[in-house]
Amino acid sequence: MSLHSIFGEEEQSLYKVKTHAKGPIGALPLTAQMLEDSPSGDLFGLTQNVGMGWEPKDLLGKQVLILGTKGGIRDYDGSPIALGYHTGHWEVDLLMIEAAKEIRERNGVPFAGFVSDPCDGRSQGTLGMFDSFPFRNDAAIVYRRLIRSLPTRRAVIGVATCDKGLPAMMIALAGMHDLPTVIVPGGVTLPPTVGEDAGKIQTIGARFANKEISLKEAAELGCVACATPGGGCQFLGTAATAQVVAEALGLAITHSALAPSGQPIWAEMARQSARAVLEMEKSKTTTKDIITDKAIENAMVVHAAFGGSTNLLLHIPAIAHAAKCKIPTVEDWVRINKKTPRLVSVLPNGPDNHPTVRVFLAGGVPEVMLHLRKLGLLHEDVLTVTGNTLGENLYWWEHSERRAQIRKRLIDADGIHPDEVIMNPIKARERGLTSTVTFPTGNIAPEGSVIKSTSIDPSRVGEDGVYRHTGVAKIFTSEKSAIKAIKTGGIVAGDIMVVMGGGPSGTGMEETYQLTSALKYLPFGKYVSLITDARFSGVSTGACIGHVGPEALGGGPIGKLRDGDVIEIIVDCYELTGSVNFVGTKDARVSIEEATKILTIREPHPDLKPHQDLPDDTRLWAALQAVSGGTWRGSVYDTDRIIEVLEAGMKAMEKEKEQV
């Protein structure tokens, strides 16, 4: 490298540097009272606004902050100049533009800020996954700081789409108790006309290694999977589930979740949301009026009815914590899932793997809520960002032209009747749809665990609705070694895979879709069970038990298992009860009571340790969330609790110094 290679032959025009400029034309609309009473920051803000090109005469409109997860740089024609991390944030700026235009037309003053987000799909199996879950807390903090750093804002619109960006945005806005806020879900991408969805396509490596597909097939299928450039993935993973939850909370307008990115109905949603937040400001409706204990419960009910991602068990409690609402417990999740039928046939749960755009066309969240209302499962009196109660929104939806036309479009476009995608409870039961999640406990998971029981392969569930698997454990202390075993024949039908050390302290509670997706799409995979203290992608299916607590590095019994141990798994998909127990070794079976005693005195696995590349940022996150109640409280930062523990630690250290 040389200076010449960097600077080259520069154009002479570069050197004609201006040293002053005339400045904007006009005068600030100041009054004597403003000059006498306003903070200097408010006044200087007006100067900066005209400096950016805003007309002085329009300065005094209501200021609305639009926050987005925009990533990448698109040219004016939409072509990429610099890529984003994922399609989910690639077109978010278009929604922000539509919202800003609407605010301007109504004499408001829009501001915009961006905090981009990572892609769990892109970081699967890489060190990038160690930053995925902790990013959510970081982003929520930055969003809140950005909101507070614009003191003159009167309302906030959050535009977000995917796995961490949207939960972070909801957590941030939930903490803005005295401001009007609205979420604009960023929408979904379309599936290819011919090809595979973005969930299945993530298994081309494992399928090729097992000679299930050719190199040519892998290359061609991988090319077409993201059929349109914007929006979250086509399946009901964490991204799509988070959009559904935003609407179910009442924080997004009716029928906004899962809109197809880039299309007119998607853009119109942003304008409608802008109108909603301005009306909220006018009527003095704020976030604390929207996110209440009842709204949180509605979101949990809708999550269950959709068969949503287990990652929302981490995000909904965090939203409740930010909103100062009651934080859901495992008992709350069990209660709600027991009484709420799953009604949606969608990727990845089935029985028919409809993409998310079909769920939108079948009526989306409000259509599901019509069925839930008849069952008496919703709090219809909660207020929403439309300015109406949920009950009033549903009455409008049921009789709306929008509902009639959008459902008809699904029939015309794909030949699919809407009632085949969103079913009534009787039809759903006839099709074999079971409730969403079960929380197995046992001597491996004394604090509990999670399995999306509705997504266990039906052929592996008995006629009584119970999944049973007793098998010999194969132990892995890293996801890398586990996926290698799958690719190289180290895993066979009947195995129980145990992946330990994937909790917050080991990897930042990594997502292990690389494993679950491979098991789903390999012929022997449905005969394999997986147990881990890590978490799963929202698109994961199968007999996969995650969130095992305590985590291995927190002294959990899962960290004491060995190759050759025998494990018994029982999951009742109807009653939503389950157990996961060590019951001895293949040479010496014992009772559960005796096995529990054995685990108690066993040493941790000799290879168990935090990943050597775990970032310090993530280590700090893991410690703070553990002090705050851990994953079952949403991995939040409980400031009072953290300060209490720090102060106690400092006092203890001072006492030790005095004794030396």
**What pLDDT, in 10s, does the model give residues 640-654?**
999 999 999 999 999
Alpha helices by DSSP H, listed for 323-457, are: 330-339, 356-361, 364-374, 390-398, 401-414, 418-421, 425-430
Question: Is the C-alpha dihedral spanning 431, 436, 440, 444 positive or negative?
Answer: positive
pLDDT of amino acid 541? 84
Average pLDDT of the chain, as a whole number? 96
d(CA 153, CA 466): 54
In single-letter form, the type of residue at position 159 comes to: V
Mean pLDDT of 186-211: 93
Q: Residues 309, 345, 505, 537: which is the catalytic one?
A: 537
pLDDT of amino acid 659? 84
- In this predicted structure, the answer to whether residue 660 has a pLDDT above a threshold of 90 is no
pLDDT of amino acid 8? 87
pLDDT of amino acid 537? 84
In single-letter form, the type of residue at position 207 comes to: R
* Upper half-sphere CA count for residue 244 (Cβ side, 13 Å): 33
pLDDT of amino acid 5? 86
- In this predicted structure, the answer to whether residue 180 has a pLDDT above a threshold of 90 is yes
β-strand pairing of 80-82 with 73-74: antiparallel
Sorting pLDDT into bands at 50, 70 and 90, what band is 132? very high
Specify the 3-state DSSP secondary structure of 142.
Answer: helix
Q: Which contacts of 550-553 are long-range, i.e. CB under 8 A and separated by 24 or more positions? A: 550/446, 550/447, 551/502, 551/503, 551/504, 551/505, 551/506, 552/500, 552/501, 552/502, 552/503, 552/506, 552/604, 552/605, 552/608, 553/501, 553/503, 553/505, 553/506, 553/608, 553/609, 553/610
pLDDT of amino acid 657? 87
Sorting pLDDT into bands at 50, 70 and 90, what band is 105? very high
- In this predicted structure, the answer to whether residue 257 has a pLDDT above a threshold of 90 is yes
Q: For residue range 339-348, what is the model confidence (pLDDT) as tens digits?
A: 999 999 999 9
628 given a catalytic annotation:
no
Q: Token match 């079971």: residue?
A: 434
Sorting pLDDT into bands at 50, 70 and 90, what band is 286? very high
d(CA 406, CA 408): 5
Contact 558, 445 (CB under 8 A): yes
